[in-house]
Amino acid sequence: MSEEKAAAAYDIRKVLEALPHRYPLLLVDRVESLTLGESIHAVKAVSFNEAFFQGHFPGRPIMPGVLQIEAMAQAAAILGIETLELAGTGKLVYFMGIDGAKFRNPVEPGCLLDLHVEFVQKRSRVYKFKGKASVEGKTTCDVEFTAMIADPPA
């Protein structure tokens, strides 16, 4: 299953259909490309208006590394939901583990954060991903993480 979906179909409206996240925690603005069962390239437009910049850090705003990882996880959730055709089912993607996170360069307001995520391993409802975030080709974060697809809590 290596079908590439049209990027034009993944504007913010389509992202909102695929993810349950909403402001202030929605960290994917559009999908540039998606190859079902393989990989996704999504983008987060980093704005000075983001609430976390008020405290991280005054006078030197930097996007927290954990939010870069969350942005990659949301991109991975779109990849998983689209690959498994789960859009509209109410299924959620939960973090299970984060491994080997490395933060390389700061992410500042006004940039476009590129989110590249690929499947590493697929087992039943548990999936392992490899992600890389970057700004203008410069890596800001590398990480591997595990997630599970499950029903929402009752």
What pLDDT, in 10s, does the model give residues 134-153? 999 999 999 999 999 998 88
Domain with 57 in it:
4-150
Task: Band the pLDDT of 4: cuts 50, 70, 90.
Answer: low
Looking at the predicted structure, is the pLDDT value of residue 3 above 90?
no
pLDDT tens digits, residue range 17-71?
Answer: 888 889 889 999 999 999 999 999 999 999 999 999 999 998 999 999 999 999 9
Q: Is 138 helix (H, G, I), strand (E, B) or coil?
A: strand
pLDDT at 80: 92
pLDDT at 2: 46
Say how many domains are in the chain. 1
Task: Return d(Cα 144, Cα 154) in angstroms, integer.
Answer: 29
41 is catalytic: no
Widest distance between CA atoms in the chain: 48
Count CA atoms within 13 Å of residue 78 on its CB side: 37
pLDDT tens digits, residue range 95-106?
Answer: 999 999 999 999
Q: Which two tokens stand for residue 98?
A: 């984060």
pLDDT at 17: 87
Catalytic entry in 21, 41, 56, 116: 56
pLDDT at 114: 98
Residues in CB range of 3: below 8 A, 6 or more apart: 35, 36
The CATH number of whichever domain residue 82 belongs to comes to: 3.10.129.10
pLDDT at 1: 40
